[in-house]
A and B are shown apart, each in its own frame.
Chain A
């Protein structure tokens, strides 16, 4: 079941920062990885990745660099900054707390 809209928009920063925590990536690569790993559950307009990436760069969470290429015009790679690594970790923890809480509610569990 493809999921788009607000649900992915609210979490796209978590996804992007987590992916970039593994290695520097360019825009199309990020889009393909999100789609592949979610088994095509996450569908979104690829062009909207770029405003998000640029905002993250303006906020100092990622940095970008054009790669040299012998065949084509090169690609613009994004990598996490130190601040970005901290933010990625914070968002991961927040997501864990959120999903655990949602699951508990949906499954009718309660500690109290």
Chain B
């Protein structure tokens, strides 16, 4: 198995390629080689003999890599990164926007205190956009789907903590009621939990949509 993976290391295009595409190519080549090896073993060869025969038939790995790289010149890594950045930015901003909106729609009365009237939503969305985009740009393919929503939830949590500190300051200075205190304490907790749930849901939906589908034959 090790020499098969070492062969694939040489035959598969590297960093120049969209990482999701590179992974797909590697999987396709591995399936071909493994099936060829199993066929040869069924004919009575040892695994080492089978692998040697199959790899010889498959060809020089460097030549295959160069040809694959050439075939995918129109699908470069930076195009993928830009796409990941756009997805990360959209998810980060959407969650940063939706959490206060959900609070306004009555999904959590305690959230109202953290989002209403403090003028923090626009900076919140902008921050979600920038940080979500940046993490999407830098992240690996599957991680990008998790990082975008997670950043949205993180941004909201940070904003909630800021509001909590402000509310506590106001409550202490004005001698406010226990209800106002509870509202300030619950806001960041509910905000963070809601963000995590939405993040998991979005990631789950995106992961499901990337599953291989059966082919019609």
Contacts and interface: CB of A to CB of B under 8 A. Distances in A.
B137 to A, nearest CB: 24
Contacts of B31: 26, 72-76
Interface stretch (A13-21, A51-59, A83-91, A95-103): A51-59
Contacts of A46: 32, 36, 57-59
Contact of B214 (A28, A48, A68): A68
A73 B27 contact: yes
A48 B215 contact: no
B68 A66 contact: no
Interface residues of A, number: 26
Interface residues of B, number: 31
A14 to B, nearest CB: 18
A27 B71 CA distance: 16
Nearest to A23: B217
Contacts of B11: 47
A47 B13 CA distance: 13
A72 B60 CA distance: 26
A50 B11 CA distance: 11
B59 A48 contact: yes
A75 B213 CA distance: 11
A77 interface: yes
A77 B215 contact: yes
B74 to A, nearest CB: 6
